[in-house]
A and B are shown apart, each in its own frame.
Chain A
């Protein structure tokens, strides 16, 4: 125990203040197995009494080498690994990966597939925000909100199971469209959720928004100014809660987001409560998008008919020799992408999720880099937490909404 702390201190000598070296302030290890760190995040906290002087995040406990592994798989097989990055935003990860491939291949996505992609990623955004809300409230000792949130999240996961067969690791979006069309039960299931959910949001808000304990724990805690947010590359709800109206769905619309009527909620306070309000409003806006997508769901195919990238449907295999050849080629060696490098980005529930995809002209990605929002947003934690109490540090980890699978990749 003692030996361990000596090694750590020496290694981090340049990061802590002189007061820590003289023994005036205390160094406290928090995590990686701590329930409030939302996974395996380790924080080395320098404390003056109960006040945080500095906090040094230590990450990498959940590093799985996904980027290296993807280089050894064909494009379609590597898509399976994208689910495992941010395990609360599986469909969003699928989406940005497929978008990068479609950008290099200049592959068109049929309108029906685009609308279903938007619909499902917005449901995913709600599901992710529900987990955030539940755990954030749990960190602040509001236990019941957690149970209510997971009750509704379950409905969304059931919809995902309906369309893809999997609740979380869906891999439902494939290059050029979707894995297969949604079943007939899909529309009534989503309509039922749309009818039920607005009242449920009000229920959460009635538990938290005017709760004096919640207000005390969140107001003026972790104030992030707009300048600092941009300087530190913070994106997503934390950026918008600081007053910067930046949402990739609006500024660089993808998958036809320009056709939907929705607002980008912002707030000017930049504190934990503002981030809470922004995310709650985002859930309502996502509902509006889902409603519009469902009302205007076009018919037609759900996958591109470009046979160099997309395998032919089963029905063609019996009659067409060409279909058999394509089927064989695509499932044995995969497709070759043209040589080049692109950057594709989407607005995930946590912020800007980007992919740098480089192709060397072969069937496997030469290099995939994930610009994950949690990784970058977490970097602002020391800035946010300085001068606050240890108890507030717990609130701050929750408000950044990190997913460790997304941080460590």
Chain B
């Protein structure tokens, strides 16, 4: 861990009871959903993390609770520091607070997470699907969403193909 990141990390651990994880030089804090807004507000205003570089989610299905993690990377342009955050989100009614008011560019990141994982962001101004068609059902990047495949037809017999794949004629 970089020297000048240490005070930020200790303050976050103390104030927001965050849990520190270090892996291959990446510093990540795990923080509970009810402290996200306060946490990011103080990260941006007091510690100068002014650039939201990455926001995404991971699905740990079939683990029941907490099923999702929302993963953030914030960057400080002034101090050249990078900090990762993780927020566990329950799988029963997945909701997380939106940080759009703190970092405006979270808007599309959170729309993408809603689209792909079905995590609702409270306080988001425009929570619509972004990549999938607007009438799509389900959230594709969830682990219980099947990838889908097409069976290879080892024949040139059109009738047999029609029997195997009735939808191909449509």
Contact A356 B51 (CB under 8 A): no
Q: Which of B103, B107, B140, B147 has a CB less than 8 Å from the CB of A72?
A: B147
Q: Which of B24, B58, B80, B140 has a CB less than 8 Å from the CB of A342?
A: B24
Complex-state Cα separation, A409 to B147, whole angstroms: 16
Stretch of A24-32, A80-88, A210-218, A371-379 that contacts chain B: A371-379
Flag B124-142 by CB within 8 Å of A: 1 or 0 each. Answer: 0110111111100000110
Q: Which of B28, B54, B58, B105 has a CB less than 8 Å from the CB of A231?
A: B105
Flag B115-128 by CB within 8 Å of A: 1 or 0 each. Answer: 01000000001101
Complex-state Cα separation, A252 to B54, whole angstroms: 16
Contact A246 B77 (CB under 8 A): yes
* Given A63-B132, A251-B80, also A15-B71 (CB < 8 A): no
Complex-state Cα separation, A71 to B105, whole angstroms: 26
For chain A, the bracket of interface size reads 35 or more
Flag A225-236 by CB within 8 Å of B: 1 or 0 each. Answer: 000001111000
B23 CB–A CB distance under 8 Å: yes
Flag A58-79 by CB within 8 Å of B: 1 or 0 each. Answer: 0110010101110110000000
A11 CB–B CB distance under 8 Å: yes
Contact A230 B71 (CB under 8 A): no
Complex-state Cα separation, A60 to B116, whole angstroms: 12
Complex-state Cα separation, A251 to B78, whole angstroms: 11
Flag A333-348 by CB within 8 Å of B: 1 or 0 each. Answer: 0000000111101000
Chain A residues within an 8 Å CB radius of B105? 231-233, 376, 379
Complex-state Cα separation, A366 to B73, whole angstroms: 19
**For residues 313 through 351 of chain A, which have their beta carbon under 8 Å from a beta carbon of chain B?**
340-343, 345
Contact A367 B59 (CB under 8 A): yes
Determine which residue in A233, A246, A252, A356 has the highest number of CB atoms from chain B within 10 A of its CB, and name it. Answer: A233
A42 CB–B CB distance under 8 Å: no
B16 CB–A CB distance under 8 Å: no
Contact B24 A233 (CB under 8 A): no
Chain A residues within an 8 Å CB radius of B80? 251-252
Chain B at the A interface: mostly helix, strand, loop or mixed? loop
Chain B residues within an 8 Å CB radius of A98? none
Chain B residues within an 8 Å CB radius of A230? 50-51, 77
Contact B54 A343 (CB under 8 A): yes
Contact A103 B24 (CB under 8 A): yes
A358 CB–B CB distance under 8 Å: yes
Chain A residues within an 8 Å CB radius of B56? 356, 367, 369, 371
Q: Shortest beta-carbon distance, B142 to chain A, in Å?
A: 10
Chain A residues within an 8 Å CB radius of B59? 367
Chain A residues within an 8 Å CB radius of B73? 343, 354, 356, 371
Contact A345 B141 (CB under 8 A): no
A187 CB–B CB distance under 8 Å: no
Contact B71 A356 (CB under 8 A): yes
* Given A231-B103, A233-B105, A354-B53, also A367-B77 (CB < 8 A): no
Chain B residues within an 8 Å CB radius of A375? 108
* Given A59-B131, A68-B147, A341-B58, also A233-B84 (CB < 8 A): no
Q: Shortest beta-carbon distance, B54 to chain A, in Å?
A: 4
Contact B84 A343 (CB under 8 A): yes
Chain A residues within an 8 Å CB radius of B145? 68
Closest A residue by C-beta to B105: A233
Chain B residues within an 8 Å CB radius of A369? 54, 56, 71
**For residues 71 through 119 of chain A, which have their beta carbon under 8 Å from a beta carbon of chain B?**
71-72, 103-104, 106
Q: Which of A60, A65, A103 has a CB less than 8 Å from the CB of B133?
A: A60
A244 CB–B CB distance under 8 Å: yes
B104 CB–A CB distance under 8 Å: yes
Contact A67 B54 (CB under 8 A): no
Contact A371 B54 (CB under 8 A): yes
B26 CB–A CB distance under 8 Å: yes
Closest B residue by C-beta to A366: B58
Chain A residues within an 8 Å CB radius of B103? 231, 233
**For residues 353 through 383 of chain A, which have their beta carbon under 8 Å from a beta carbon of chain B?**
354, 356, 358, 366-367, 369, 371, 375-376, 379
B52 CB–A CB distance under 8 Å: yes
Chain A residues within an 8 Å CB radius of B51? 230, 233
A401 CB–B CB distance under 8 Å: no
Contact B53 A352 (CB under 8 A): yes
Contact A233 B53 (CB under 8 A): yes
A-B pairs with lowest CB-CB distance, top 7: A233-B105, A369-B56, A60-B131, A371-B54, A63-B131, A340-B23, A367-B58
Q: Could you pull out 16 A-B pairs where Cβ atoms are within 8 angstroms?
A: A59-B131, A60-B130, A65-B140, A231-B104, A233-B52, A233-B53, A233-B103, A252-B80, A341-B23, A341-B58, A342-B23, A352-B53, A366-B58, A369-B56, A369-B71, A371-B73
- A residues engaging B (CB < 8 A)? 11, 14-15, 59-60, 63, 65, 67-69, 71-72, 103-104, 106, 230-233, 244, 246, 251-252, 340-343, 345, 352, 354, 356, 358, 366-367, 369, 371, 375-376, 379, 408-409
| Further 20 A-B residue pairs, CB within 8 A, beyond A103-B24, A341-B71 | A11-B134, A14-B125, A65-B140, A67-B116, A69-B147, A230-B77, A231-B105, A232-B104, A233-B51, A233-B53, A233-B103, A233-B105, A251-B80, A252-B80, A343-B54, A354-B53, A354-B73, A366-B58, A376-B105, A376-B108
